[in-house]
Structures are given as C-alpha cells and as structure tokens.
C-alpha cells in the first residue's frame, strides 16, 4: 500500500453509522484459538491472517466495509460486509482496553 498505514475500524473520521472502507482489523487471541472451520471460512473469503504477539491481524479484501450497529450496548458492535456479500460481526467491549475484541462469523457456509 505504498507506505501508508492501513485503515482500521478504530481510526475513523466520518460518521460511525455510515459504512466505511475496512482494510485491517486486530482481534485478541492467537491463530491457534480459531477453529479449523473458522480458518477455512476466512481463507475462502480471501481474508488474510497475520499472527502477532497476543493478537491476530485480519486483512480484508478491497471493497470490504464496516458500519457500527446502533444503539450501542456495553460494547461497540460493527457489521462487516465483504465484497461478495458475506457478513461478519465485530464486537469490542468499551470498558476493557484489551482482552475482548472478537470477530463473529454469521452466515453458515454452504
């Protein structure tokens, strides 16, 4: 990406309720924490997985969007839509700095 830092769900300058481009997202855990089925689904939808010290960096295909779901609850909830229409949910507990950022696969694979 020519030296620019990737955009993530955390740094946004526009309205939180409008869909915004999403390139990367960091979630808690390790690649080993993901089930074989989850890894297969992520790979099938061209989502790259990079393991870091205590987290996983997900790299989404171009055209992926993220949109916050309102009203807010104890945590922020986001809808992630891939270019092929597959949807994911992202949940982040607003009261914890780390330790509760999760991605949820929504649609069953056919």
User: Does residue 90 contact residue 69 with C-beta atoms inside 8 Å?
Assistant: no
User: Which residues are within 8 A (CB) of 41 and not within 5 positions of it... i.e. 6 or more apart?
Assistant: 105, 109
In this prediction the pTM is 0.73
**In which residue ranges of the chain is pLDDT below 70?**
1-16, 94-110
Give the pLDDT of residue 33.
76
CA–CA distance, 7 with 9 (Å, rounded to integer): 7
CA–CA distance, 40 with 10 (Å, rounded to integer): 26
Give the pLDDT of residue 37.
82
> Residue 42 has what DSSP assignment?
H
CA–CA distance, 33 with 56 (Å, rounded to integer): 10
Give the pLDDT of residue 52.
85
Give the pLDDT of residue 66.
92
Give the pLDDT of residue 103.
63
């Amino acid at each position: 990406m020519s030296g620019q830092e990737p955009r993530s769900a955390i740094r946004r300058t526009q309205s939180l309720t409008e869909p915004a481009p999403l390139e990367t997202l960091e979630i808690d855990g390790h690649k080993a924490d993901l089930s074989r089925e989850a890894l297969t689904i992520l790979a099938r939808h061209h989502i790259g997985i990079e393991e870091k010290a205590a987290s996983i960096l997900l790299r989404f295909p171009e055209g992926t969007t993220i949109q916050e779901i309102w009203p807010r609850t104890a945590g922020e909830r986001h809808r992630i839509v891939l270019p092929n229409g597959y949807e994911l949910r992202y949940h982040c507990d607003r009261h914890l700095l780390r330790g509760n950022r999760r991605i949820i696969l929504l649609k069953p694979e056919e």
